[in-house]
Amino acid sequence: MILVTGGAGYIGSIVVEQLLAEGAEVVVFDNLKEGHQAAVLPEAAFVYGDLTDHQAIDEMFGAYPIEAVLHVAAEANVPLSMTNPSHYFQVNVIGGFNLLEAMCTHGVNRMVFSSTAAVYGEPQFTPITEDHPENPINAYGESKLLFERMLQWYHRAYGVKYITFRYFNAAGASQRLGEDHKHESHLIPLVLQVALGQREYVEVFGSDYSTRDGTCIRDYVHVVDLADAHIQALDHLDRVGKAIYNLGSGAGYSVLEVIEAARRVTGHPIPAVMADRRPGDPAVLVASSERIQRVLGWKPRFADLETILRTAWEWHRQYPYGYERGRI
């Protein structure tokens, strides 16, 4: 049985969907703070709980025959991490420690960890390889990097095998599941909310970066491709032992380019309003995913931005108010 922490969230729910499609047995552990019960497919077992509650984690490991952990759960809002770093260290570091301790107590030594490109900070070169210096400029990235370092020591001392995925910007949707954050800060769903008439405009945070049009550039990777990588990681974990891989498409799009592509996909004008920079936002984050392609054979199937946007748009049109109000 595979444990997916955060399996009621955007990425986690689609990871669960892919695991179930492969015939795996899955248990989801989630506090539903940002996730949704409706995003947990009925074939998966569900345990309500919080990573900061070590007793709840221990009880879950005692109740289910868990063989591997996909650790997707996290606090992941970059701007909020700049104003309340304490919470991010509590959840992402201490919560992760509780999870590792329960794994060791119950003899589970296999983990795939969802990290982030935010561990790199401002890029010294692009595309970013896994050998790029790690210098986070926000508390979210710092908390993820601390857990990465913790994993290295648990591997060395206790034999925990792990693959760490440094996500770039997850986007898109599967046919059944999509992006529905209770506190939305991601560009693509915000843009699509404008197209749905739920917002008057989308804010562009910063127009004076040293980029081709002055706005931030990001690498968007389809969420189904991310989920596929997790399946491949489980298959290769025993052979690899420990590894860190970037997960991105290798292409960078500016905020204005994303908005323009969304206008083409949706057929809506999507007004944009310039705003001040947000603290903690690097100018450019674009991945080199050459290492995982070479070692695991992973390659994104949905790398084109308009394809990513089209799948997201289709899901948002079916669920304009998210999971809580259901499909129209």
pLDDT digit string (tens) for the chain, length 328 residues: 999 999 999 999 999 999 999 999 999 999 999 999 999 999 999 999 999 999 999 999 999 999 999 999 999 888 889 999 999 999 999 999 999 999 999 999 999 999 999 999 989 999 999 999 999 999 999 999 999 999 999 999 999 999 999 999 999 999 999 999 888 889 999 999 999 999 999 999 999 999 999 999 999 999 999 999 999 999 999 999 999 999 999 899 999 999 999 999 999 999 999 999 988 888 999 999 999 999 999 999 998 999 999 999 999 999 999 998 777 6
Two tokens, residue 308: 């990513």
> 187-218+250-318 has which fold?
UDP-galactose 4-epimerase; domain 1 (3.90.25)
The residue annotated as part of the active site, out of 140, 162, 167, 245, is: 140
Domain limits, CATH 3.40.50.720, in the chain: 2-171+220-247
Q: What pLDDT score was predicted for residue 328?
A: 65
| Pairing mode, strands 217-218 and 253-254 | antiparallel
| H-type alpha helices, the chain | 10-21, 54-63, 78-83, 85-89, 95-105, 139-158, 187-195, 223-240, 255-266, 290-295, 305-318
Domain limits, CATH 3.90.25.10, in the chain: 187-218+250-318
Q: What pLDDT score was predicted for residue 232?
A: 95
Q: What pLDDT score was predicted for residue 183?
A: 82
> 2-171+220-247 has which fold?
Rossmann fold (3.40.50)
CB–CB of 101/95 below 8 Å?
no
Q: What angle do CA 3, 93, 38 make, to 5 degrees?
A: 40
Q: What pLDDT score was predicted for residue 266?
A: 98
The distance between the two most distant Cα atoms of the chain, rounded to a whole number of Å, is 56
Q: Is 321 a catalytic residue?
A: no
